[in-house]
């Protein structure tokens, strides 16, 4: 089973950095973790200090469907 973390809803004026810091999720960060985040959630620079890598889903970028390699 994979752990899932869903933060509270934040207003538009909160930065990704503030959301990450205030959400409490950093308490669960362990070196060599790989976290899945939504596209455009720019926090890798913070997670580098924790040894955590962010994986983001591929973008369609004008395509109608993902290739077999992109679809996981």
Q: Is the pLDDT of residue 31 over 90?
A: yes
Q: Where are the domains of the chain?
A: 31-60
Of the spans 6-10, 43-47, 57-61, which averages the highest pLDDT? 43-47
CA-CA distance, 32 to 53, in Å (whole number)? 7
Q: Which residues contact 66 (CB under 8 A, 6 or more apart)?
A: 58, 60
Decide: pTM greater than 0.85.
no
Q: Is the pLDDT of residue 72 over 70?
A: no
Question: How confident is the model over 28-39, as a mean pLDDT?
Answer: 89
CA-CA-CA-CA torsion sign (57, 61, 62, 63):
negative
Q: Is the pLDDT of residue 66 over 80?
A: no
């Amino acid at each position: 089973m994979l752990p899932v973390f869903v933060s509270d809803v934040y207003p538009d004026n909160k930065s990704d950095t503030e959301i990450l810091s205030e959400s409490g999720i950093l308490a669960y960060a362990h070196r060599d973790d790989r976290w899945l985040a939504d596209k455009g959630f720019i926090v890798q620079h913070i997670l580098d200090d924790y040894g955590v890598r962010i994986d983001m889903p591929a973008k369609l970028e004008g395509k109608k469907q993902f290739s077999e390699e992109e679809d996981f």
